[in-house]
């Protein structure tokens, strides 16, 4: 993994990273307690766009994903205290045409019946469904929600106990060719290939360890074989943008 830039010091808690179709801007957000803004970064980590989502609230924004139409989606589904029972995905349409302020459409969802509250911090979009991953030490749960404006009940997909300690998933992405999934942790990522349909955990899972441990919260594909990664600023470390070739 190679550090390629320092992220602008105004962003202490870069909680996600995402590239949108037909643009070289890297988008990020901050999580709970911060502004309801999305930030566009250049490859040097500088803020070149700062857009206020005027009809949104940042309860706990955790991850970003996008579609091939240039729309960005904000996952407001963090739940550290386990006291939330409804969640929101904000859709920011035609992002490349936006400047200082815009509004978002809302996709709301409840958990499947009988599922206990969980903390979700990672998702991606595949075949018009959002696949959302819980952040837990024991067993990560995957649920899916349709990419349709309105209210939904999420559908349980699967769960899996990843090998080793510190298996909390903090961000996720799928490659443009839909053949590779990456799940991020502070000191490693899991690369998943050879899966069929949404039986992700029945595919080939490869663990890639990093050369250092920091609060890594964002991952997205640069191309089908390389990812961008961000970590949060913590005293003298972090606050960087990295690339990693899988």
Strands 72-76 and 61-66: antiparallel
Q: Indicate the number of domains in the chain.
A: 1
Q: What's the predicted TM-score (pTM) here? A: 0.96
pLDDT tier for residue 97 given thresholds of 50, 70 and 90: confident
Q: Where are the beta strands (DSSP E) in 111-246?
A: 120-126, 129-134, 140-146, 150-153, 155-160, 171-174, 181-184, 188-193, 204-209, 216-223, 226-231, 240-245
Residue 97 CB contacts under 8 Å (≥ 6 apart), including other chains: none
Q: pLDDT tens-digit profile of 123-157?
A: 999 999 999 999 988 789 999 999 999 999 999 99
Q: pLDDT tens-digit profile of 57-96?
A: 999 999 999 999 999 999 999 998 888 989 999 999 988 7
Residue 42, pLDDT score: 97
Tokens 């290939």 found at: 193
237, β-bridge pairs: 234
Residue pair 106/144 in contact by the 8 Å Cβ criterion: no
**Choice among 54-63, 172-181, 201-210, 234-243 with the minimum mean pLDDT:** 234-243
Give the burial class of 146: count Cβ atoms within 10 A of its Cβ; 0-12 exposed, 13-18 middle, 19 or more buried. middle
Phi (first) and psi of residue 238, to 5 degrees: 80, -170
Look at residue 224 and give its three-state secondary structure.
Answer: coil
Residue pair 75/123 in contact by the 8 Å Cβ criterion: yes
Task: Provide mean pLDDT across the span 43-65.
Answer: 96
The percent of residues in the chain predicted with pLDDT above 90, rounded, is: 80
Give the whole-angstrom CA distance, residue 109 versus residue 88: 6
Provide Rg for the chain, Cα atoms: 16
Cα distance between the two ends of the chain: 10
Give the whole-angstrom CA distance, residue 145 versus residue 130: 5
Residue 165, pLDDT score: 67
In degrees to the nearest 10, what's the CA dihedral of 47, 98, 16, 34? Answer: 80
Look at residue 47 and give its three-state secondary structure.
Answer: strand
Q: Which domain holds residue 228?
A: 2-245
Residue 127 CB contacts under 8 Å (≥ 6 apart), including other chains: none
Task: Provide mean pLDDT across the span 51-57.
Answer: 96
The CATH number covering residue 233 comes to 2.120.10.30
């Amino acid at each position: 993994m190679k550090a390629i830039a320092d992220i602008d010091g105004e962003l202490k808690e870069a909680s996600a990273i995402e590239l949108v179709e037909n643009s070289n801007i890297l988008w990020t957000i901050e999580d709970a307690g911060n502004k309801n803004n999305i930030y566009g970064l250049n490859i040097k980590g500088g803020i070149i766009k700062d857009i206020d989502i005027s009809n949104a609230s940042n309860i706990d924004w955790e991850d970003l994903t996008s579609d091939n139409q240039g729309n960005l989606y904000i996952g407001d589904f963090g739940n550290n205290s386990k006291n939330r029972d409804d969640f929101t995905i904000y859709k920011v349409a035609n992002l490349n045409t936006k400047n200082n302020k815009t509004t978002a459409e809302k996709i709301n969802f409840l958990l499947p019946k009988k599922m206990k509250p969980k903390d979700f911090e990672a998702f991606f979009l595949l075949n018009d469904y959002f696949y959302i991953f819980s952040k837990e030490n024991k067993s990560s749960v995957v649920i899916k929600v349709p990419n349709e404006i309105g209210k939904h009940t999420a559908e349980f997909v699967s769960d899996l106990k990843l090998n080793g300690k510190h298996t909390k998933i903090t961000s996720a992405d799928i490659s443009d060719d839909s053949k590779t999934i990456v799940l991020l942790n502070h000191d490693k990522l899991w690369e998943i290939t050879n899966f069929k349909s949404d039986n992700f955990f029945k595919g080939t899972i490869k663990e890639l360890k990093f050369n250092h441990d920091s609060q890594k919260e964002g991952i997205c594909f640069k191309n089908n074989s390389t990812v961008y990664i961000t970590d949060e600023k913590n005293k003298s470390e972090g606050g960087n943008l990295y690339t990693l070739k899988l």
